[in-house]
Structure 1
């Protein structure tokens, strides 16, 4: 599993330029341009278009390398109740709260859907 923080921004292009200046490369970009992946050695930074309260927020997400149902079974066995896997434009996602009540997102990608 890879770590993938998601940085919400009202200006995805400017945010992409900022992180490129820090040394990250640009990977896959969604067709509408509201999602940019910026690979790094230990994962990637994702920049997601947003407005309002989400601007400036960062969310912890992980890219799963196995079916989300298998991850959900392990979470339940450990006493955590994830939400159901959801169909997304990029594949599937599932959210679960950590012990502090902070939401963590798990994504299983089908990159052919948006690249």
Structure 2
């Protein structure tokens, strides 16, 4: 799985310009423009527009290249909480709770939904 940091913002264009100034090039983006991927050598920062979120909030996520249901089953079998697999505008996602009670998101991207 690929490590993904999700950076919530109210202004995706400004945050993307900031990362471009750092030398990171934007990659895939959702058609509505509320999700922009900034690929790096060791992972990805995903800029996600959320008007209700605290600006600057970050979330740990992972990108799965396979189905999410087996991951949910393994997490539950290990004694941890796993939500339901949800269809999203970028593909599918699963949220699981770590031992400290923090939600971690696992995404399965459908690149046909991107620009």
Structure 1 stretches of 4+ with a deviation exceeding 3 A read none
Quote the Cα distance in structure 2 between the aligned partners of 1:53 and 1:110: 24
Equivalent position of 1:48 in the other structure: 48
Number of residue pairs matched by the alignment: 115
- Residue pairs, 1:53-68, within 5 angstroms: 53-68=53-68
Equivalent position of 1:75 in the other structure: 75
Quote the Cα distance in structure 1 between the aligned partners of 2:31 and 2:87: 18
Unaligned runs of 5+ in 1: none
Quote the Cα distance in structure 2 between the aligned partners of 1:31 and 1:87: 16
Equivalent position of 1:110 in the other structure: 110
Unaligned runs of 5+ in 2: none
Quote the Cα distance in structure 1 between the aligned partners of 2:90 and 2:51: 21
More strand per residue? 2
Equivalent position of 2:93 in the other structure: 93
When the two structures are superposed, what TM-score results if normalisation uses the length of structure 1? 0.94
Is the 8 Å Cα contact of residues 89 and 114 (structure 1) preserved in structure 2?
A: no
Quote the Cα distance in structure 1 between the aligned partners of 2:52 and 2:71: 32
Deviation at 1:63, TM superposition (A): 0.2
Partner SS, residue 56 of structure 1? coil
